Amino acid sequence: MKFSRLVFSIIALTAIWIVLRESISVLDVVLGAAAAASCIFFGRRFLPADEADDVKLSRLFLYPFWILGQIYLSGFFVIRMIIFGARADFIHADTALKSNILRVILGNSITLVPGSITLDHNEHGFTVVMMRGKNASEPKGDMGQAVKGKLEAKLIKAEK
């Protein structure tokens, strides 16, 4: 990592630390810089950054904000299903993602969205437990697309 990039990363993470602490003092800045430097050191040492070479990280910049909106919206559908009755189905959803990191992000995103839990994933797809309306009549194949549809479409744009 270039020195200028390292300094920028430490400053940015320290700023996030100060915002989260909701106070600014010399001690907060020093502790924030130490925590930032530690995160960068251990991240570079133990995280497999070379696996992210096949991902356009700039395309994932807005993904966390988008997924928060999806979580919020899905919560209303789950509330409705709970009130009017729901059942759970096991669904296999194939994926077109080639990157292992993006498949993991997709699996975690599916789990974050209310009403679905990723049980297993491999290079071909996911096994998901999904809540469905009590009287839902969609075929299970269509449900696989419903589970991962928008999420996978956003992540495919980030593949190189």
Cα–Cα distance for residue pair 59/157, rounded to 1 Å:
7
- 138 pLDDT higher than 70: no
Instruction: With CA atoms as reference, report the closest residue to 157 among 56, 64, 65.
Output: 56
pLDDT of residue 152: 86
Distances (CA, A) of 60 to 52, 83, 130, 151: 12, 35, 25, 12
What pLDDT digit, counting tens, does each position of 47-72 carry? 776 666 778 878 888 889 999 998 99
Cα–Cα distance for residue pair 112/128, rounded to 1 Å:
12
Global pTM value: 0.70
